[in-house]
Structure 1
Amino acid sequence: MKFNIPHSRPTISSKDISSVIKVLRSQHITQGPVVDNFERIFSKYHNVKGSVALNSGTSAIHLSLLALGAQKGDEVIIPSFVCSALLNAVLYTGAKPILADVNNHDFNLSIESVKNSITKKTKAIMVPHMFGLPADIKDFVALGIPIIEDCAQSLGAEYNKQKVGSFGAISVFSFYATKVIATGEGGMVASNNTKLLNKIYDLREYDKKKFCKLGFNYKMTDVEAALGLSQMEKLPELINKRKSIAKIFNEAFSNYNVQIPTALPRKEHIFYRYIVNLGKSSAATIRTLNKKGIHCACPIFEPLHKQMNMDPKRFPNSQELYKNTVSLPIYPSLLKQEVDFIIQSFKNCLEK
């Protein structure tokens, strides 16, 4: 059998489709009551005071930074081993992005690297929960600097049995097509700070404002929210499917001399990505698997320090992980025969 297994794909059910069709037939397809309901359900799930639905995760980061007052002359700490959306959002505000290294064992932001990066100009620290595994978020909150939790890859994950996205001053989520739940494009901000939430509600709207008051057209539509609500209903099922595939992978690869993703104390991993550290260059393995129809990749496009032409010696873990890791396909719609083929093909690579 010939396989063509994408690195990621959405999991769309007939109920998801029916929910969207219902909104289309209502003829109210822009931001409206369905968005309001999505925000309410999302807030309840995370046990926070409020949530604001937006058109992308990048918009969520941008408005969160603006709500915290980030501007030219400020600094915002972000990891190097992360997608460029964080970098772009900081630059949108005029603030200066300050890169920090990550931990080798969990890909999350290094608290020591962050401590060494803090100055009097530090306005906020962005802490992603990378690939579905929570960061040590309480350590960052204890620094006393506003924390933006980036939960784009970790919806449903828990730290000390508390949902990620409920620790920082503000948290951001993405509902891009291949995220934990999908609305095609979309994002959310969640917070227990009413003042910050009100600022973001205001920034989301570009119209009906006093002259020269800043606003953006970052609204989510009821069509997208309908899909989001339908996906939220099955979130536990989606996460359990990811966990079950990860368990199968772990059992298959545990005897090889590679670093596989596992649960850590106090942290519930939802396995948005299944990242393996080979301890050596992953380029040949990625090429081999891609030729077999298993679309794999480095977990990120490239570290931000590389994009910014910074000295890689300042970010040793980010640099090593970029060179040595491979992201295998893992998502709820993977079929058993696809899982089996991934396992056998990857084993063949490891045994060479």
Structure 2
Amino acid sequence: MIPAARPLIGDEERAAVDRVMRSGMLAQGPEVAAFEQEFSALVDGRHCIAVNSGTSALHMSMLAVGIGAGDEVIVPSFSFAATANAVQLAGATAVFADIETDYFSLDPAAVEAAITPRTKAIMPVHLYGHPADLVALEEIAKRHGLLLIEDAAQAHAAAVNGKPVGTWSDAASFSFYPTKNMTSGEGGMVTTASDEVARQMRLLRNQGMEKRYANEIFGFNTRMTDIHAAIGRVQLTKLAGWTAKRQANAAFLSESIEGAITPPIAPWATHVFHQYTIRVVDHDRDRFAEELAARGVGSGVYYPTPIHRLPSFGLDLELPGTELAASQVLSLPIYPTLSDAELETIASAVNEVAKAGS
């Protein structure tokens, strides 16, 4: 079986962990500081604040930019639940807008229609590694006096018109979960150009204190450990090569697959292919996945249930693009260690299943 995902941990990462273990400095320390500085090269030198998960990054960024009770934040429903959970956990209300189904990101027209007097921010998700239309969303945010916050959890090194994601907004959040394009074992990073937002983030992640025992605000313990940061630093050195391999793998699959709609790339976008997500249109998607598995190809559905329909929200909304995507998407293996033979197996399996009329 070719698995849907395959975390990449090598000898360099193991050696980095061993180095930290021998140092005796395990909590947030010099490795975290170095990781933050090195990651800033991906985001044009912006402030980078490391935390213990991508979800913490989203939650802390909400609080750091001043989102709270009475505010509304426009988000897509076609995403992982953490996107909207972070808004709710900050005391605000997630307002769901529809997506366009080419790139699975917020539809600017739907965002415009969702704005109310309580709207405080727009939070697009760069789903699967393809950036949202940040040019249009930035213009809407500026025209209405709104904050722009990026959920870049799946989009390390993606860009719009050559400008990296994570540099368009008041704050952006990245994830280092094991199956992301790079990992720290677990962890997250917030990027911002604002000195004040960066300072608030550092207070929030560390019990509200910058100076030990001088707690300035109510804070959390969402610090990243030096063990995780050491892994992240090694992975960061490999990211460019891995991204190029993902893009090459995607190009091969798009040229070879005939039985499904392959993922398009906007002319203004740098797609980093966290997922290679096809749309199964003429067949039952779940049966299609079962037939792929029978041929030795794993796959995943991200995400089968829109957030607004999860029990935690339970909303009855008309979001046709979202519902269509949730019924059609199927993500195929795309990680950089796929062999040529495995790529050929994946493409052949998709074409066979489609031809068989599954």
Q: Which TM class, normalised by the smaller chain length?
A: over 0.9
Using the alignment, how far apart are the partners of 2:285 and 2:122 within structure 1?
Answer: 31
Residue 79 of structure 1 corresponds to which residue in structure 2?
A: 76
Preserved CA contact (<8 Å) 2:83 2:151: no
**Is the aligned partner of 1:242 residue 2:239?**
no
Question: Once the 2 structures are TM-superposed, how far is the Cα of residue 301 of structure 1 from its aligned partner?
Answer: 4.1
Instruction: Tell me the equivalent position of 2:297.
Output: 294
Aligned equivalents of 2:20, 2:119: Cα separation in 1? 44
Offset at 1:209? 5.2
**Alignment-mate amino acid for residue 218 of structure 1:** T
Q: Give the CA deviation at 1:211.
A: 6.5
The residue that corresponds to 1:163 in the other structure is 164
Shift of 1:344: 1.5
Matched, 1:123 2:120: yes
Cα distance in structure 2, aligned partners of 1:345 and 1:259: 15
Please state whether the residue corresponding to 1:19 is helix, strand or coil. Answer: helix
User: Matched residue pairs, number?
Assistant: 346
- Tell me which residue corresponds to 1:278: 280
Residue 230 (structure 2) pairs with residue 226 (structure 1): yes
Conserved 8 A contact 1:141-1:147: yes
Runs (4+) of structure 1 moved beyond 3 Å?
207-212
Q: Deviations over 1:78-98 (max 9, x none)?
A: 101000001211111111110
> Residues 172 and 188 of structure 1 are in contact (CA less than 8 Å); yes or no, is this contact kept in structure 2?
yes
| Structure 1: unaligned runs, 5 residues or longer | none
C-alpha displacement at 1:286, in angstroms? 1.1
Give the structure-1-normalised TM-score.
0.94
Equivalent position amino acid for 2:289 in 1: I
- Aligned partner of 1:305 in structure 2 is 308
Q: What is the aligned partner in structure 2 of residue 266 from structure 1?
A: 268
Residue in structure 1 matching 2:23, options 20, 26, 34: 26
How far apart, in 2, do the equivalents of 1:344 and 1:77 lie? 40
CA contact (8 A) 1:48 1:166 kept: no
C-alpha displacement at 1:210, in angstroms? 5.3
Letter in 2 for 1:31: Q
Correspondence list, 1:63-74, <5 A: 63-74=60-71
Would you say the 8 A contact 1:48–1:191 is kept in 2?
A: no
Provide the C-alpha distance between the structure 2 equivalents of 1:44 and 1:105, rounded to a whole number of angstroms: 30
Tell me by how many angstroms 1:157 deviates.
Answer: 0.9
Q: Which residue of 2 aligns with 1:180?
A: 181
Residue aligning to 2:130: 133
Could you tell me the percent identity over the aligned residues? 34
Question: Does residue 54 in structure 1 map to residue 51 in structure 2?
Answer: yes
Shift of 1:118: 0.7
Aligned to 2:35: 38
Contact 2:203–2:217 (CA<8 Å) still a contact in 1?
A: no
User: Aligned AA for 1:7?
Assistant: A
Aligned-residue offset at 1:213 = 2.8
Structure 2 counterpart of 1:324, from 319, 325, 328: 328
Letter in 2 for 1:273: Q
